[in-house]
């Protein structure tokens, strides 16, 4: 197969791999069921696990006992093949994380006596700093929606809330109505691994959220009762068909408002608002531990990446304004 570098080409190559064998599908299904029961993993994490394991299983096509029987040499060969196809080090690192969880479970259940992934080193990842917008760009982005129409007022409330609370996109679009307490100015957020955290809301985000609830949401729903989602929760942000706003819809909205605000749409993503929230808090003197709690990071090392962004900001200020800069 020829080398490739784009996601589209990799998807095309994947269609040329054999179909998933029934025995491999069963092994993957049992692993995912146990992983969900033991760790309460999110749907997106389980879907990622499935894609990784199905890719290896289809590549093996039953050789050497299929997915559950692959040895360390087989994993080496698969990783080498993925590298030739143009998969990034970050993608291969995620695959190794999946494989370690998968084989560790097989060993615990006595279905294997060894873990072939145990001695595999993760690829070295380039350090990528989060891309944050300038505060002036955030102001322009928040001002972009047309607040004289219900959809525009909804979008303004969503942008304000995501930036004010540092939410993940999935947390924003999945926010239920009963998670917001405007009287106390607090948001109850369910993050990764179904972990809950309380996030304070500022006056601006409270103002726009109250306006959305009082004006835009009743107009969008036609004053009908909004149906609950699959988990029994009533979604906060809806469209005119009473459906919750999806991640894809919000992505399109952010790109459109970025263009309207004079921001290069290629430089922004919904997650960029979360990065901007964290960076701006640190620039204004926030404590790193407090930021960790607000972002819902399980490890402080994940939060510390933002200190590098803040340090770069200070260095730019020093170079620009100090006479010896």
Q: Are residues 72 and 145 located together in one domain of the fold? A: no
What is the mean pLDDT of the segment spanning 182-196?
88
pLDDT score recorded for residue 315: 56
Active-site residue identified among 192, 211, 256, 313: 192
Active-site residue identified among 271, 313, 316, 320: 271
Q: Are residues 80 and 187 located together in one domain of the fold? A: no
pLDDT score recorded for residue 292: 81
Q: Are residues 253 and 164 located together in one domain of the fold? A: yes
Residue 207 falls in the annotated catalytic set: no
* Long-range contacts of residues 204-210, Cβ cutoff 8 Å, at least 24 apart: 204/160, 204/164, 205/157, 205/160, 205/161, 205/163, 205/164, 205/165, 206/182, 208/153, 208/156, 208/157, 208/160, 208/161, 209/157, 209/160, 209/161, 209/180, 209/182, 210/182
Averaged pLDDT of the chain: 84
Which of 5-19, 46-60, 291-305 is predicted with the least confidence, judged by mean pLDDT?
5-19
Q: Are residues 140 and 77 located together in one domain of the fold? A: no
Q: Is residue 120 part of a domain?
A: no
Question: In the structure, what pLDDT confidence band is assigned to residue 306 with cuts at 50, 70 and 90?
Answer: low
Residue 127 falls in the annotated catalytic set: no
Residue 274 falls in the annotated catalytic set: yes
Active-site residue identified among 58, 60, 82, 168: 168
Q: What's 237's domain CATH number?
A: 1.10.443.10
Q: Are residues 274 and 158 located together in one domain of the fold? A: yes
Active-site residue identified among 58, 274, 275, 280: 274
Domain range enclosing 212: 135-321
Residue 297 falls in the annotated catalytic set: yes
Q: Is residue 198 part of a domain?
A: yes
Query: What pTM does this model have?
Result: 0.58
Q: Is residue 1 part of a domain?
A: no
Q: Tell me if residue 22 falls in helix, strand or coil.
A: helix
Q: Are residues 269 and 173 located together in one domain of the fold? A: yes
Q: Are residues 100 and 144 located together in one domain of the fold? A: no
Q: Are residues 203 and 240 located together in one domain of the fold? A: yes
Q: Which of 58, 89, 108 is the last residue of a domain?
A: 108
Active-site residue identified among 78, 87, 163, 306: 306
What is the mean pLDDT of the segment spanning 209-236?
91
Q: Supply angle C-alpha 263, 91, 256, rounded to 5.
A: 20
Task: Write out pLDDT tens, residues 66-88.
Answer: 899 999 999 999 998 998 888 88
Residue 271 falls in the annotated catalytic set: yes
Question: In the structure, what pLDDT confidence band is assigned to residue 275 with cuts at 50, 70 and 90?
Answer: confident
Q: Are residues 185 and 54 located together in one domain of the fold? A: no
Residue 319 has pLDDT above 70, yes or no: no
pLDDT score recorded for residue 3: 40
Q: Is residue 36 part of a domain?
A: yes
Task: Write out pLDDT tens, residues 287-296.
Answer: 777 778 788 7
Q: What's 104's domain CATH number?
A: 1.10.150
| Number of folded domains that form the chain | 2
Q: Are residues 20 and 102 located together in one domain of the fold? A: yes
What is the mean pLDDT of the segment spanning 227-249?
90
């Amino acid at each position: 197969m020829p080398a490739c570098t784009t996601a589209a080409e990799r998807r095309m190559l994947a269609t040329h791999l054999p179909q998933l064998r029934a025995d491999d599908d069963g092994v993957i299904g049992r692993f995912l069921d146990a992983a969900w029961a033991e760790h309460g993993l999110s749907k997106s994490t389980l879907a990622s696990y499935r894609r990784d394991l199905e890719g290896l299983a289809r590549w093996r096509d039953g050789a050497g006992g299929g997915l559950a029987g692959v040895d360390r040499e087989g994993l080496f060969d698969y990783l080498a093949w993925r590298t030739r196809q143009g998969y990034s080090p970050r993608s291969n690192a995620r695959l190794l994380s999946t494989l370690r969880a998968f084989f560790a479970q097989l060993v615990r259940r006595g279905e294997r006596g060894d873990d072939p992934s145990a001695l595999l080193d993760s690829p070295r990842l380039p350090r990528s700093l989060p891309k944050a917008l300038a505060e002036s760009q955030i102001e322009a982005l928040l001002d972009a929606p047309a607040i004289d129409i219900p959809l525009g007022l909804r979008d303004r409330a969503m942008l304000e809330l995501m930036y004010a609370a540092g939410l993940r996109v999935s947390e924003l679009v999945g926010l239920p109505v009963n998670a917001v307490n405007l009287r106390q100015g607090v948001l109850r957020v369910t993050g990764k691994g179904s972990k809950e955290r309380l996030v304070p809301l500022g006056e601006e985000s409270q103002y726009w959220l109250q306006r959305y609830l009082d004006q835009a949401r009743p107009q969008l729903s036609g004053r009908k009762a909004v149906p609950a989602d699959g988990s029994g929760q009533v979604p906060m942000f809806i469209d005119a068909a009473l459906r919750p706003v999806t991640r894809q819809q919000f992505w399109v909205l952010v790109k459109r408002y970025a263009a309207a605000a004079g921001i290069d749409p290629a430089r922004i993503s919904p997650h960029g608002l979360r990065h901007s929230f964290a960076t701006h808090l640190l620039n204004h003197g926030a404590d790193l531990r407090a930021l960790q709690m607000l972002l819902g990071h399980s490890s402080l090392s994940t939060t510390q990446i933002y200190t590098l962004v803040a340090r770069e900001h200070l260095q730019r200020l020093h170079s620009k304004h100090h006479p010896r800069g």
